[in-house]
Structure 1
Amino acid sequence: MGIGEHTNLLRQWHSGDLSVLNQLMELVYNDLHQRAEQLMRRERPDHTLQPAGLLNETYMRLAKAHDLGGSRTQFLANSAHVMRQVLIDHARKRASEKRGGAAQWVSIHSGIKGDSDPRLNVIDLEHSLKNLELKDPRKAQVVVLRFFGGLSLEEVAEQMDLSLATVKREWVFARTWLYSQLATRPNSSHGS
């Protein structure tokens, strides 16, 4: 099934045919499951949410969404946003269950071999990412698509209709900015 199949199913969804979500998920299941596994590897080892659970919760939230995007890339980006929110909600719930809650940790790993980043509190990361969104929404979107969406720099450039060189600059700047913000947060402690 080609990329046109994704677009056709998304058009049907926008026309009110909610039954196409299952077909759409079948087309992108392997991509989404692989992304869920990557995201969960960044979490602490005793995390209660597993990749299948993350994917199931993502599916449930997508089923309630009004706009899934108009292309495969947009759908994957929207799915990445939903996965991000599931992880943030899970971290907040866990933190609220225990006084001073056990923080969840993630890595801002770019997906590039040899690039190892410190593990970060997912709530601190979300707070810093929201600050970046206020200052520079485009840079924040690059981070979301790369980190949560697992998109390559080329796919981000296509999704955002930017040149590859611009996306590379935005990615480097955004990561550097996030690191500096996370390093200065009083409750942000790096560790595994």
Structure 2
Amino acid sequence: MNKEVTQLFNQWQSGDQAVQEQLSQLIYQELHRLASFYMQKENQGHTLQATAIVNEVYIQLNNQNLNVNNRQHLFALVSNMMRRYLVNHAKTKLTQKRGGDWSKVEINSEVDGQQLNLEQLLDFDEALDELAKIDERKAQIIEQRYFGGRELEEIAIAFDISESTLHRDIKMAKIWLMEKMS
């Protein structure tokens, strides 16, 4: 599907408006795949649905006048939008009145194999923002992998780095994030 999205995206960027509907459908399908990937890591009892995440991100994509350069840029934006949606969801859940039918939602970000609850997700988000100030590439890699569900090969291609460099970046970012969050 990646090659098809790239081809349609390039046609659309070249002014072929006839491919817009087909491109929109493929992007929606890819968003759903990414959201489903993320939701598979959720614990039972969570309140998020993959379709809700996809719909929100898709609406944001359509409502914003974004200047997207290529497929990699598009999915980097999508990863960031998914991250923001999940963080906002966590903030909303934490601001609800304690007690009643409020339940703790566990979110597994797979940061060094540790599962994060809502408060830890917010700490993770803050630490990721701080990492971006120090090393933007490492922060974007983590964001695209854990919030965007992108495959390692896709990320390496998007950043034009080898997979061994990607693994080193992920390892260093995880170490930095875990130290920051502890």
TM-score, shorter chain, exceeding 0.5:
yes
Query: TM-score range, shorter-chain basis?
Result: 0.7 to 0.9
2 CA distance for matches of 1:37 and 1:97? Answer: 26
In the TM superposition, residue 99 of structure 1 has moved relative to its aligned partner by 4.8
Maintained 8 Å contact 2:47/2:105: no
2 CA distance for matches of 1:10 and 1:177? Answer: 39
2:157 maps to a residue whose letter is E
2 CA distance for matches of 1:29 and 1:43? Answer: 21
For residues 5-40 of structure 1, the C-alpha deviation after alignment (integer angstroms, 9 at most, x for no partner) is: 122235559xxx7x93x5433113332212111212
Corresponding pairs, count: 173
In the TM superposition, residue 52 of structure 1 has moved relative to its aligned partner by 0.5
Match of 1:118 among 114, 118, 122: 114
1 CA distance for matches of 2:146 and 2:28? Answer: 18
2 CA distance for matches of 1:119 and 1:98? Answer: 24
In the TM superposition, residue 104 of structure 1 has moved relative to its aligned partner by 4.2
Matched, 1:109 2:105: no
Maintained 8 Å contact 1:80/1:145: yes
Q: Secondary structure at the match of 1:47?
A: coil
For residues 150-180 of structure 1, the C-alpha deviation after alignment (integer angstroms, 9 at most, x for no partner) is: 2222211221222333222111111122122
Q: TM-score when scaled to structure 1? A: 0.77
Structure 1, unmatched stretches of 5+, are 111-115, 185-192
Q: Secondary structure at the match of 1:119?
A: strand
Maintained 8 Å contact 2:45/2:105: no
In the TM superposition, residue 78 of structure 1 has moved relative to its aligned partner by 1.4
In the TM superposition, residue 51 of structure 1 has moved relative to its aligned partner by 0.5
1 CA distance for matches of 2:23 and 2:149? Answer: 18
1:41 maps to a residue whose letter is Q
2:12 maps to a residue whose letter is L
Maintained 8 Å contact 1:104/1:122: no
For residues 31-62 of structure 1, the C-alpha deviation after alignment (integer angstroms, 9 at most, x for no partner) is: 22121112123334322220010100111111
Q: 1:59-70 to 2 correspondence within 5 Å?
A: 59-67=58-66, 69-70=68-69
Q: Secondary structure at the match of 2:110?
A: coil
Q: TM-score when scaled to structure 2? A: 0.80
- Structure 2 partner of 1:72: 71
Matched, 1:93 2:92: yes
Q: Secondary structure at the match of 1:150?
A: coil
Structure 2, unmatched stretches of 5+, are none
1 CA distance for matches of 2:52 and 2:13? Answer: 24
2:130 maps to a residue whose letter is N
Maintained 8 Å contact 1:44/1:105: yes
**CA-atom RMSD in angstroms:** 2.7
